[in-house]
Amino acid sequence: MKTNFLENNHVVHVVPSTVLSTNADLTDGLSSGLIINCDVMSLKNADGAVFICTVSANAGGALSFTILAASTAAAAATTPVSFRYKTITAPDTVAATGETKELLTSTGANYVYVMEVDAAKVAEQGYEFIQLVGTEATDNAAQGSIVGFLTGLRYKEDDIGTQVT
């Protein structure tokens, strides 16, 4: 069965290079408590969203991730929503799926964090928009990246246009 991933999901580069410091360090040299605000996305045309954060090299940095339901594209009013997650370690060791409102990453290297939020949980708050926020928990270098996907598109991918606000 053909999955048509690119037609059924909208891939979003939610962390522009201007947000990350040199060499894609997620936490390097930042003050404890610094926030990485990913782009705000609309769930109007999707059933949910998935964020994938990869951490390759790590000198002890850690982030605390939350997914915020937002009232507007500018995230004027926000509230954390619960999301499902999996932690994957190299090469292919997958931890059990959990659910939380805040995910603290490891200070170790070679981790992948997959976070999934359901549009219905966001709608329960009366909101349509979401934003992944990473708050530095440990002030050491951690190289990685973050990408987001809108899932369960209600229209063909070519028809929905940009969903980043």
Domain ranges of the chain: 5-155
Q: What are the Cα distances from residue 72, in Å, to 43, 52, 54, 102, 146?
A: 11, 23, 28, 22, 22
Tell me which residue has tokens 């507007």: 72
Pull the structure tokens for residue 52: 């994938």
pLDDT digits (tens, 9 = 90+) for 79-131: 999 999 999 987 788 888 999 999 999 988 899 999 999 999 999 999 999 99
The backbone torsions φ and ψ at residue 34, rounded to the nearest 5 degrees and listed phi first, read -60, 145
Asked whether 148 and 50 are in contact (CB, 8 A), the reply is yes
CATH number of the 5-155 domain: 2.60.120
Instruction: Calculate ∠ Cα 106-38-151, nearest 5°.
Output: 90
Query: So what's the pLDDT on residue 156?
Result: 58
Query: So what's the pLDDT on residue 63?
Result: 87
Better-scored residue on pLDDT, 16 or 54:
54
Average pLDDT over the chain, rounded to an integer = 82
Q: What is the pTM of this model?
A: 0.85
Better-scored residue on pLDDT, 133 or 27:
133
* Dihedral (CA of 108, 114, 120, 123) sign: positive
Asked whether 67 and 135 are in contact (CB, 8 A), the reply is no
pLDDT reading at 45 higher than 80: yes
Pairwise CA distance, residues 37 & 133, whole Å: 5
Q: What are the Cα distances from residue 80, in Å, to 75, 127, 136?
A: 12, 11, 17
Pairwise CA distance, residues 45 & 119, whole Å: 10
Let me know how many helices (H) and strands (E) the chain has, helices first.
3, 13
With a CB cutoff of 8 Å and minimum separation 6, the contacts of 33 are: 135, 136
Task: Please report, rounded to a whole number, the percentage of residues in the chain having pLDDT higher than 90.
Answer: 42
